[in-house]
Amino acid sequence: MAKIDRIDLLIAGVGGQGTLLTGRIIAAAAQAEGYDVKTAETHGMAQRGGSVVIHVRIAGEVRAPLVPQGEADFLLAFETLEALRFLPWLSPAGTVIVNCQEIKPLPVLTGACDYPEGAVETLKNSAGRVIPVEAMKLEPVCSQPRTANVLLVGILARLLPFPEETWQKALAEQIPPRHLTINRRAFTTGWTHQPRP
């Protein structure tokens, strides 16, 4: 596999969607491939259903754990509003992988604000490349919504130069055994979702 100089990515979602675990899976895969890796996580107050973002940086040597604005190669978003929120971190040539799920924040639920319309279109007009995914309609996410994050990891994995065995090993390392089988299925759905570019 061709070596990469650097991959910067952001994982955005809503507290409880598995952003922390996703960051750990990607970091474990990068580490297994011999790269230096750093992540920056959101904990505490931000996790009570709030907006959550994880930075993951992969390179021969990583310094700051935070991806500078405008420099992320990938934005992995588990919810469309959160994809829009962290769009400023994406580089002009970057790729957005977005789960087309809308989770309305409280100000929208109470009628104080409107949920942005045509979010995926906005993403398409702004980003180099957008891969929208109806994860909630795909197996096994439709019956196990909590596996949506790993399905998106599968899609991302296909775009990164790490072999599938590395990803499978990273899944086994990071996911508790009783949830591993269903998450492997989600990963495979993602892995086979897009033809290799």
Q: Using the minimum distance from each CB to another protein, give the nearer residue, 145 or 192.
A: 145
Taking the complex as a whole, the smallest distance from the CB of residue 131 to another protein amounts, in Å, to 16
Nearest to 139 by CA among 175, 168, 174, 182: 182
Q: Using the minimum distance from each CB to another protein, give the nearer residue, 125 or 195.
A: 125
Q: Which two tokens stand for residue 161?
A: 């130069």
Taking the complex as a whole, the smallest distance from the CB of residue 42 to another protein amounts, in Å, to 7
Residue 194 Cα to chain centre, angstroms? 15
Using CB under 8 A as the criterion, which residues of the chain lie in contact with another protein when the complex forms?
14-15, 23-24, 27-28, 31-32, 34-51, 62-66, 68-71, 81-82, 84-92, 104-116, 122, 126-127, 145
Taking the complex as a whole, the smallest distance from the CB of residue 192 to another protein amounts, in Å, to 27
Q: Kindly give the interhelix angle for 164-174 and 19-32, rounded to the nearest 10 degrees.
A: 130
Nearest to 129 by CA among 173, 167, 159: 159
Q: Using the minimum distance from each CB to another protein, give the nearer residue, 174 or 189.
A: 174
Q: Using the minimum distance from each CB to another protein, give the nearer residue, 59 or 193.
A: 59
Taking the complex as a whole, the smallest distance from the CB of residue 47 to another protein amounts, in Å, to 7
Radius of gyration from C-alpha coordinates of the chain: 16
How far apart, in whole angstroms, are the C-alpha atoms of residue 166 and residue 147? Answer: 19
